[in-house]
Structures are given as structure tokens and as C-alpha cells.
Chain A
Amino acid sequence: MEDVASRFAEHIPALRRYARVLTADAGRADDLVQDCLERALSRRHLWRRPGNLRGWLFTIMHNIHVNHIRAARRAPIADGVDPAELGSRPADQLERVAAGEVALAIELLPYEQRQVLGLVAIEGMRYEEVAALLDVPVGTIMSRLSRARTRLREITRPSARIGLWRVK
């Protein structure tokens, strides 16, 4: 019988990519992926097929990361930007993020916005899948996504107009 662990490999590149979005540091990103794979291995008897293996692995990684942040007694996630998550780029460099440097700008987003934007824009997940993964309603995903995009624009184009929305 096929061991589900043999199918982890195909998801490692995407896990590493998303971990990089979360931690902004290659080494810490791979630590996170390693923790994720180890936990997945130890719990692979809980895996039910057919199922969304990618979603399962991403969920595990998400939970580990949230626990790491909490365990480190950093600022509560909901408070927005977590300085420890910004790697070597402190917030005072915010103005130095030039237009178009979206990749740098995403690291300056509040954690929850960075997660959603990473999963939607980079990992190409459907909103429903992201909602299930983060265990929040789709409406919450949409508002985080919207705020993330607005914030990203403010960071990369400080002069951009804000408050445009007239549509419902």
C-alpha cells in the first residue's frame, strides 16, 4: 500500500515558497517546512484519502507557525505587523520600499494579510480553500485580501489614492 509520505515530496517546493512568505528568511522557512513534514509524518495515519493533501500539509504548517509565534511570546498575531517576522527589515525601512518592490512590501503586511495574499496570489488557492485552511469564513478572507492589496499599494505607491470604493 502506498505510503502518503511518499507524496509529500511533490508539495515541498510550494511549502518552501509559502514558508518564505511567512518568515522572510530562507533558513527559518526551511525549519518551518521541516517541522511541518515531521508532524505530517507522525500523523500520517490520520490522513484520509481521497483528500486534499496540499491543503492538509499547508494547514499543518500554518498551525505550527502560529504556535511558534505564540510560544515565542511575540505580539499577538491580530495586532498586525509582527516585528520578529520581518526578518532584517525593520519597519523604519518602510519608506525605502520603492515602487514595484512588491515582494519586499508583502513582508511589511500584517501577518493575517500576508497569509491570505500569499495563499491566494502566490499559491493560487481558491478562497474557499484558504478559508478552510485558516479556519475563518470566506468573508473574512475577502476582507483581509482587500486590505492586503490596499496596504500593498500604499507601501509601494505612497501617493496612491485611497478610499476609492463606491461599489458595494
Chain B
Amino acid sequence: MSGARESGQAVDKAMLHAYADGQLDAALRATVETWLAEHPEIAEDVQEWRAQNEALRAAFDPVLEQPIPARLAGLSERRGPGANPWRQAAAAIGLLVLGGVAGWLAPLDKPWSETAPGPSAFVADAAAAYRLYTVEVRHPVEVGGDQETHLVAWLSKRLGSKIAAPKLADFGFHLVGGRLLPGQSAGGQAIPAALLMYEDVTGKRVTCYVAGNVDNHETAFQFRQADGVSTFFWIDNGLGYAMSGEIERDKLLALAREVYRQLEL
């Protein structure tokens, strides 16, 4: 760095890091290279730093190639004219977003308040419930789908909001049943959440998680994936809904849209 610019000057540790990070000019680079040639042990370390850099970039650079989620692209591309490389991707994704386009086009004020439980916690709960209960063979649900009327009445009462068990038979899924779960807490008290489980003929299961008091703002569909579990979620009338499964994204989206459509009626 600057103190090291005289000829024959010492190479210090900061210079070695700057060398590894490609932040030296040609003259200093040459100085460091000469010095490293005489200090092979340290040259090995510097080589390892460069290898670390490369490994980190190799690990994280793929994020750059991923399509930008509509909720992010929408915060930039819709203002300002002119060609925009993300406009097309955003438009394509936008087609997947169902009716509530306003959900992601409108929110210049924050869609989630900073203090209320955000969607992350809610979605994590939904995915956790999916993981925990879909693997259960004997007790996947508390109340079976054969008692649907009772199930729906019970869960509606506990949630304090009328919910229904959407019919997904057209998509090959039938209702296994449901259960009550503790959702995010408010003021130290867990708010009830409901889990509805569906299964197809192959035994593939998906869940619909419904929790109250997620946020007052409505949103359109958003997608999350963690540890192989995909979730489409949305918020409507203060209730958060999350469809989770380990099925193709398009299929899960179709199920989520159907659930949304039926609950709207």
C-alpha cells in the first residue's frame, strides 16, 4: 500500500492480500511476485487465498444467472423508460402471477412491517410442517378427510376465520385430513395455524398451511424453495396461505392457483 512504494521495500501482509485479490498495480504486483518466489511457504498460503476466492465465486456466481423474482424486478423495471434486460424476465414471470398483480406492483410502502412476523417465518413454519407431517404414515393428520365437515368447522373455529378444504381432485389429489398447529406468536401467545394435507394415487403429498395474523397486506403468489421443499404462498385478508410440496414448480403453482380460486369464491 502506499508506504511500500519505495524500491526494495518490505512486503507486508496487507500487500499479500491485495495481491491475492488483484488489487495491486503492475509494479507492486511484480514486487510481490519476486518476494513470493523467495518465500515459497507463504506463496503457498497466498495461492490458497486465491483458490478460496475462486471457490467462493464458483459457489455464489450462479445466483447471478437466476431469473430475478418478480417482486424484485418490479421494484426497478417498472419505473424508468428504456430497454432493460430484466424487463422481459419480469414480464415472463408476471404471467405466472395470478390475478393479484397489484400485490407486487403496488407496494411502495413496505409490504411487510418490520415488527410483525414477516412472511419468512410464516413460510418457514409452513415448510417445517410439511416436512414434519408428510412423512408420517400412521398419523399424518389429526382429523381425517372422511370427516371433512367436522375438520373444516373445527379449524375455522380455532383460526377465527372461516376456511374451507379446497377440492383438488381434478389435479389428482384428495384430502388426507388436517391438523391444528401453533403458528407465529403474538404477544407471547402462539396463534393457531391449520395444516391440510393432500395425497395423490402415488402417495405424493402436498400441504396447504393457513395461518392468521401474518400481515394485513395482501400479496400475490411468491415462491420459496428450501431444502427441496417448494412453497407458493400468498396473503389474503390477514390470512397467510402456503402450498408446499416436493413436486414440479408448475404443478405446485397450478395447485396453489386452484386453492386461491376456490377460497376466493
- Which residue from chain A places its CB closest to the CB of B114 in the assembled complex? A71
Q: Residue on A with the closest CB to B68?
A: A12
Whether a CB of chain A sits under 8 angstroms from the CB of B52 is yes
B85: A residues at CB distance < 8 A: 9-10
B20-60 CB contact bits vs A (8 Å, 1 = yes)?
Answer: 01110000000000000001011001001100110111111
CA distance A145 to B10 in the complex (A): 20
Task: Determine the chain A residues whose CB is within 8 A of the CB of B49 once the complex forms.
Answer: 149
**When chains A and B are docked, how far (Å) is the Cα of A153 from the Cα of B46?**
12
**A interface secondary structure, majority:** helix
The answer to whether B41 and A164 touch across the interface, beta carbons within 8 angstroms, is yes
Q: Does the CB pair A9–B56 fall under 8 Å?
A: no
Contact B72 A34 (CB under 8 A): yes
Partner of A33, one of B16, B72, B84, B108: B72
For B69-89 the 0/1 string (1 means CB < 8 A from A) is 101110111011110111000
- Count of A-B contacts judged by CB separation below 8 Å: 145
Interface residue total, chain B, C-beta cutoff 8 A: 58
A90 vs B48: C-alpha distance in the bound complex, in angstroms? 26
| CA–CA, A68 and B79, complex, Å | 28
CB of A138, distance to nearest CB on chain B (Å): 8
Cβ-defined contact, A127 with B23, below 8 A:
yes
Instruction: State whether A167 touches B13 (Cβ < 8 A).
Output: yes
Instruction: From the candidates B13, B80, B84, B118, name the one contacting A2 in the complex (CB within 8 A).
Output: B80
Are A103 and B60 touching (Cβ within 8 A)? yes
- Choose among A9, A28, A42, A127 the residue with the greatest number of B CB atoms under 10 Å from its CB: A9
- Residues B17 and A106 in contact, CB atoms below 8 Å apart: no
Beyond A6-B82, A106-B56: 13 further Cβ-contacts under 8 Å?
Answer: A6-B77, A8-B76, A9-B77, A13-B64, A16-B72, A17-B63, A21-B60, A27-B123, A30-B69, A34-B111, A149-B17, A164-B42, A167-B42
Instruction: Give me 10 A-to-B residue pairs in the complex whose CB atoms sit less than 8 angstroms apart, sorted by A's number.
Output: A8-B76, A12-B68, A17-B63, A26-B226, A27-B225, A117-B56, A122-B61, A126-B23, A149-B17, A152-B52
Interface residues of B (CB under 8 A from A): 10-14, 16-18, 21-23, 39, 41-42, 45, 48-49, 52-53, 55-61, 63-64, 66, 68-69, 71-73, 75-77, 79-82, 84-86, 107-108, 110-111, 114-115, 118-120, 123, 224-227
